[in-house]
Amino acid sequence: MNVRRLGNLTIARIVERDEPAFAIRHLLPDATQDALAPHRPWLEPNGIDPVTGRIVLPVQTYVVCTRHHNVLIDTCLGENKTCRWHKPWHELRDLRFLADLATLGLQPPDIDFVICTHLHGDHVGWNTRFIDGHFVPTFPRARYVLSTVELDYWCAFNRRASAIDYEECIDESVLPIVDAGQALLIDGTHEIDDEVRLEPLPGHTPGHFGVRLQSRGEQAFMIGDLMHSPVQCAEPDWAACSDVDPILARQVRRGFLDAHADTDCLVLTAHFPSPSIGYIRRKGSAFTFLADPW
């Protein structure tokens, strides 16, 4: 369990999976063998498994305890969830997520807000649990913060999707939250309190946003899926295969990197290899990610 302070805040990291997951070109189509060659020496073995060539891709939640609230940022894959497109993530059982949360002294009723940076299945899984034949909210007192644009997009997507493309995570992990009246739907920038602010980072998905944390002059920013690998700092134009709007995603990514390079803002990532947190630094005409130990 990784825990650190940021001013008056406590930030912890619950890691559900941390393994070589996909061939890197499956995730980043621009990462051809020739284009990737200059980066392999520093990406291996933590970012790319040298044996399989697969990208190492943690799936994790950040637990933030402010002066006011207990907050989860994204909720991993969860249990009993459908994932037809990646079998190792399909219908997982007996996970340690809630036990790890308890290690931090928190039970589900203690969570005040669940922030969903976007609605892909590996970011919303523990929103719900399967109990008595139904998916119900895992955190009974929490407000689940969702983008209105994001929710509308995926509901419309599923209405016209084929059986192959259909996103079951919306039915299993999102709509039960809405039906329970626990969704807090937002548009644009939104403040949870004076220490937690949501800021739009569209492109990966239409309503994708990041989470800025600030306390006693210190700042951190959880970027969701703005980037999936530190190689995208060196190659900001490399889009992910799952970017809904690759052109916009590139623009937003470059804007974020430029604004946060050489600052003391701690960047929390969803999928960079462990330790997954660090700082953006300029390197020539691009950038590099300086990992920071917990």
Residue of 30, 26, 97, 96 whose CA lies nearest to 57: 26
- Say which amino acid occupies 190: H
* Confidence at residue 1, expressed as pLDDT on a 0 to 100 scale: 75
* Confidence at residue 64, expressed as pLDDT on a 0 to 100 scale: 98
CATH number for the region 2-291 comes to 3.60.15.10
* Confidence at residue 48, expressed as pLDDT on a 0 to 100 scale: 97
Q: 10-residue block means of pLDDT along the chain (294 residues)?
A: 93 97 94 96 96 95 97 98 93 96 98 98 98 97 98 98 95 98 96 97 98 98 98 98 97 98 98 98 97 93
Strand 286-291 to strand 277-283: parallel, antiparallel, or no bridges (unpaired)? antiparallel
171, 176, 177, 181: CA torsion to nearest 10? 140
Residue of 292, 227, 274, 279 whose CA lies nearest to 14: 274
Residue 288 burial by Cβ neighbours in a 10 Å radius (0-12, 13-18, 19+): middle
Domain edges within the chain:
2-291
pTM above 0.95, yes or no: yes
* Confidence at residue 139, expressed as pLDDT on a 0 to 100 scale: 98
> Do 203 and 254 meet the contact criterion of CB atoms below 8 Å apart?
no
> Do 2 and 57 meet the contact criterion of CB atoms below 8 Å apart?
no
CA distance 294 to 286: 26
> Do 190 and 210 meet the contact criterion of CB atoms below 8 Å apart?
no
The tokens describing 72, both together, are 């989860």
* Confidence at residue 294, expressed as pLDDT on a 0 to 100 scale: 87
> Do 109 and 79 meet the contact criterion of CB atoms below 8 Å apart?
no
Mention every residue, 6+ apart, whose C-beta is less than 8 A from residue 206: 147, 149, 150, 153, 244, 245
* Confidence at residue 85, expressed as pLDDT on a 0 to 100 scale: 87
